[in-house]
Amino acid sequence: MPIELLMPALSPTMTEGNLAKWHKKEGDTVKAGEVIAEIETDKATMEFEAVDEGTLGKILVAEGTQGVKVNQPIALLLEEGEDAKALTAPKAAKPAPAAPPATAAPVVAAAPAAPAAKPAPVAAAAAPAPENHGARVFASPLARRLAEQAKIDLSRVTGSGPHGRIVKADVEAAVKGGGAMRGAPATARGPSAPSAAPLRTKAQVAALAGNIPYTETPITGMRRTITARLSESEVIPHYFITVDCEIDALLKARADINEALGVKLSVNDFVLKATALALRKVPAVNASWSEDAILHWQDVHVAVAVALPEGLITPIIKNTDKKSLPTISAEMRELGQRAKDGKLKLDEFQGGTISVSNLGMFGTKQFTAVINPPQSCIVAIGAGEKRPVVHGDTLSVATVMTCTGTFDHRVVDGALGAQFMAAFKKLIEAPAALLV
């Protein structure tokens, strides 16, 4: 039976995508790990890699198709020994796996009041176990069939394929008892579930506003993702610590380096390096909360908020603490441009361990930023401006930049947050330390 290639979930929040381009045509040989298509998500265009081998028998979704739902079949892959005649098999074979959900529905359904609502056939065939833990399971069609035959609950198997997808080898390892099995899934974790904001229709919102005239902007996939992440952040116990940094020495160092090396370092490049080195000095801040343990990250990856017309995205400078200022500057320019072009890869805007949001270029003096889960800190950077300062008993004028750290109190206690901001301030005010 041919393998169905499904529209992948290339990010945790993706529900649908656009099939931008096919890299293979019908009849081409496909190897595991090969890029077979490009998928446009709510935030970027990413490559879709094959996890099974075979021949691309039939393309079900044409290039340029928009709004393809996650887990919708987009192509059929012929396995070794199969020919084109097998392409009609899935239509005849579909009713068999679709039958069990009718009897299993009372156990699986989340809402007893709606027993008639059927889950998608693909999802039903992929869940031979009688339990449904509410988590979407991403697995190759072959892995699903093997799991069904072996009575393996895929929700308890850890995938080793692209983006955590479960592949044949994972199921085989689970059958032998050596597979990476997740712990028993938690059913409901009340404290970690974000509180739901009231959902109102356009008519309800207009009525609340007094039915005044309005125009509307469609809600994009990116905007929905931002909304979901902000709602998730809402339950984090935030607190804020603000420091004033004198940046005259930094501005002089920046001007000297730009003139001597012929580069164009920005103040933000210094901020990113200072943030990374401050994490190294106070490593307990480089951590994330989970329900099982606090995870302390070994690498420092700084995510940088970049504003786009349709929303916000956070490209990441990997191993920021180990890179020179010119390298950070060059990477930031490249990532920023590709972010605007929608060409970032998934690992280039997900996976940071701390974030920086800089609104100083807009003249903002000071602000507080919302934590980007699962990170535990974000540093908000205001504009540098001339202010009166006191040094000893002398009143003078200095260029001062106000910076505010937002911390997750579950991970970073107040004294620890203060140590981090003190380390950050010291590095910003002694820019020579950022050149080492």
Report helix, strand or coil for 308: strand
301 is catalytic: no
DSSP state of 115: T
Is the Cβ–Cβ distance between 308 and 6 less than 8 Å?
Answer: no
For 5, the enclosing helix (H) or strand (E) is strand 3-6
Strand 29-30, strand 73-78: pairing: unpaired
Is the Cβ–Cβ distance between 320 and 273 less than 8 Å?
Answer: yes
Strand 54-59, strand 29-30: pairing: antiparallel
Hey, CA dihedral for 367, 371, 376, 378, is it positive or negative? Answer: negative
Is the Cβ–Cβ distance between 101 and 94 less than 8 Å?
Answer: no
For 383, the enclosing helix (H) or strand (E) is strand 377-391
* Terminal-residue alpha carbon distance, the chain: 60
Lookup result for tokens 């800089």: 358
Lookup result for tokens 């446009």: 40
- Residue among 23, 133, 238, 409 flagged as catalytic: 409
- Identify any residues that bridge with 389 across adjacent strands, giving them in sequence order: 396
Residues with catalytic annotation? 409
